[in-house]
Amino acid sequence: MKQTIPELKKTATEMRMKVIDMIYKAQSGHPGGSLSAADFVTACYFYDMRVDPADPRWPDRDRMILSKGHVCPIQYACLATLGYFPESELDTLRKEGSMLQGHPSMNKCPGIDISTGSLGQGLACGVGMAMAGKMDKKDYQVYVVVGDGEAQEGEIWEAANTAHKYQLDNLVVFLDINNLQLDGTTDEVMPNGDLGRKFDAFGWEVLELDGHSMEEIVAALDKCRASKNGKPKCLAARTVKGKGVSYMENVCGWHGIAPNKEQYEQAMAELRAQLNG
């Protein structure tokens, strides 16, 4: 199951292609954030996480929560590729009757550990799962993807406090710091300051990294898995919204719209070139 770093880089690009393809076919969805979280989510599923696609609710599995639930296309791409459901389902994203809701639903889609979509809530759910793991003496890890815009929600910090109190070293937050949110840059809308230092002040172990460097992501995941120091982990990752598609990179407007035919073809051509290059 564990891919090598070169394999992971290739897989991340393939996942990006699936993201663009499904959002294009749906003509609806959130490409920007899906692409900024793509390398981390890919590394989790294809390198680090202990999961069983044939038994999505295996009690000992590692958990993945997209607290910024709108970036679910990247998780759907990974789940389909691992065989949680047929890849043909990806063509049904956001369509009536689909298991692939616009925001993830745990009771419709196998492999989704909690329903999200309302920002700020996923970390508290991850705290609950990590707590249950400690109570039941299980050694699973819980991963939560939190957006930097999302970190403006107060509940994130309530949950950060609780994770520290209960010494949840089995909890890992991937802080996707792409500096953009729907209405503009985070500095314009609501400056976050240094989010890594904030988590540090909350008693977390903070690792700063380039969120698109597979080498750094894998090293961070290894470190988190090995560390049993009683501290929850925060991977404060510098990322680029829209990463991998030139015209989407760092462009706020690509938060929540689908590409047209021409844009789709350009995006796929660029990603194909990255795959072969």
Partner 1 sequence: MSELKKIPTREGFGVEIAALGHENPDLLVVDIDIGKSCKTGQFRKELPGQYINVGIAEQNGAGVAAGLATCGKIPFVVTYAVFGSLRICEMIRQEICYPNLNVKIACSHGGVTPANDGASHQSIEDMGVLRTLPNMTVIMPADYNAARKLVRAAANTYGPMYLRFTRDAMPQVYGEDVEFTIGKAHQIQDGKDIAIIANGDTVSIAMEAARELETQGISVRLLDMHTIKPLDVEAVTACVNDIGRIITVEDHNIINGLGSAVCEVAAEMGKGIVKRVGIQDQYGQSAPYERLLAMNGITAGNIVRIAKELL
Binding residues vs partner 1 (CB under 8 A): 59, 105-107, 113-118, 120-133, 135-136, 154-155, 158-159, 161-162, 165-166
In the chain the first and final C-alpha atoms are separated, in Å, by: 24
**In whole angstroms, how far apart are CA 67 and each of 127, 159, 228?**
12, 12, 24
Residue with smaller CB distance to partner 1, 122 or 242:
122
Residue with smaller CB distance to partner 1, 117 or 256:
117
Mode of pairing for the β-strands spanning 184-185 and 180-181: antiparallel
Residue with smaller CB distance to partner 1, 113 or 216:
113
The SS3 assignment for 187 reads helix
Cβ–Cβ under 8 Å, residues 209 and 217: yes
Minimal distance in Å, beta carbon 21 to partner 1?
28
CA distance 145 to 123: 8
Minimal distance in Å, beta carbon 162 to partner 1?
5
- Secondary element (H or E) of residue 139: none
Q: Which two tokens stand for residue 125?
A: 């759910």
Residue with smaller CB distance to partner 1, 155 or 208:
155
Minimal distance in Å, beta carbon 216 to partner 1?
28
Minimal distance in Å, beta carbon 90 to partner 1?
22
Measured in degrees and rounded to the nearest 5, phi and psi for residue 181 equal -140, 180
In terms of DSSP H, where are the helices of 109-213?
122-135, 154-165, 186-189, 195-201
Residue with smaller CB distance to partner 1, 184 or 230:
230
Minimal distance in Å, beta carbon 65 to partner 1?
8
